[in-house]
Amino acid sequence: MNEVLVTGLLILALFALLGSGVWIGLTLAGVAWLGMEVFSSRSGGDAMAVTVWGAASSWTLTALPLFVWMGEILFRTKLSESMFRGLAPWVNGLPGRLLHTNIIGSTIFAAVSGSSAATCATIGKMTIPELTGRGYPPEKIVGSLGGASTLGLLIPPSIIMIVYGVAAEVSIAKLFVAGVVPGLLLAVLFSGSIVVWSLLNPDKVPQSDVRMTLRQKLAESRHLIPVVLLIGGVVGAIYTGVATATEAAAIGVVGAMVLSASQGSLTWATFRESLLGATRMYCMIALILAGAAFLTLAMGYIGLPRHLAEWVGGLGLSPGQLLVALALFFILLGCFLDGISMIVLTMGVLLPTVSAAGIDLIWFGIFVVIVVEMAQITPPVGFNLFVLQGMTQRDIGWIAKACLPYFLLMVLAVSLLYWFPGLVTWLPSRM
């Protein structure tokens, strides 16, 4: 049967099942089984059993539930309150003043969370009431938080990087290190946009009501010490080669528990809630990964990746044109699927084409993560938009409009990484 027709039928089945409310992982496995049974000579049952078991028992994937658990523990501590107290004195003198706490707070928490939704919820609970009460414009509060919280996907440790690393069979430690400079670049772009806006609109920025001496600022900065030590322990263990990503994740969990205990937040109830929350999230992710692994196998038997690679190769696209096409494809896909689903659903098909174009897979991983970040703030299925809507009760369209400038800044960041690939590849090359 014509490959285009097979692809169309499978995509139709995929969206029909997703639209009917079937879980994403079960949908992927179901479409894979249908494809193997109808369009290949291989039996789908035993292939499903072997593939699902292999995907679920991967040692590399062990880091994922540990980082999720670390984020859940910190989500229930006094970390956010301490971060605001430590950051506020230093940004009060900058153009834009306390709006920068959204950017810097998200950047710091991203390094101990790995999830953009958790970053958005945690920092939002801290800054939205504070900034609203001080008279900052609502669209700037929500927009800067929605844009900056996407850094939870890029700044290590990142859950989605682990998923990509498993799918692309590349070093997760190198992916983590590769995300540091692009993550900081985005944070600088976000803060720079606030500076420019505040200089153009000085009347919209509330005047500072607190004057602090340098000694007082340094005293307040002590509240940042615990989280800085935790970040340094996790990222430093990976960068120096002392620990693998999985071992660093275990260090992070222990560190989060120590931090929680020292703040008096570690009770049996919070321990149980954090463990159950991490278990629920990981089970969801693991089911999606297992279904996607089976779908990748089924596509291999049907021959779709090879035909797609041949078709794209026949178009004669340059690497730059290919990346533009893939960016548009991921942004469109992000209107319907979450980031992890996008990664696991497409990598098996796209990676052969990307490799054939001579694109470094570590660099491509960072590229994909940033494009997926864009999808986090694009309706109708932008996870950060849902989180912000729950906290502000604003309309999704209004929130998306507030986040639009940060979407455009991510486009600029991707362009800079294309023209200066060393921003991504320099640190990993030194490991």
List phi, psi (to 5°) of 93. -90, -5
Neighbours of 324 (CB within 10 A): 15
Answer whether the bond into residue 157 is a cis peptide, omega within 30°. Answer: yes
Which pLDDT value is given to residue 141?
A: 92
pLDDT given for residue 364 in this prediction = 94
* Encoded tokens for 319: 């690497």
Cα distance between residue 14 and residue 23, in whole Å: 11
Question: What's the pLDDT at 363?
Answer: 95
Stretches where the chain sits below pLDDT 70 are 1-4, 7, 41, 44, 60, 79-81, 83-84, 112-115, 118, 122, 208-212, 214, 239, 303-314, 335-338, 380-383, 431
Q: What is the 3-state secondary structure (H, E, C) of 188-231?
A: HHHHHHHHHHHHHCHHHCCCCCCCCCHHHHHHHHHHHHHHHHHH
Q: What is the pTM of this model?
A: 0.73
How many angstroms separate the CA atoms of 228 and 207, rounded? 29
For residues 362 and 170, the answer to whether their CB atoms sit within 8 Å is yes
**Residue-wise pLDDT tens digits, 307-352:** 665 666 667 778 888 888 888 888 877 766 667 777 877 787 788 8
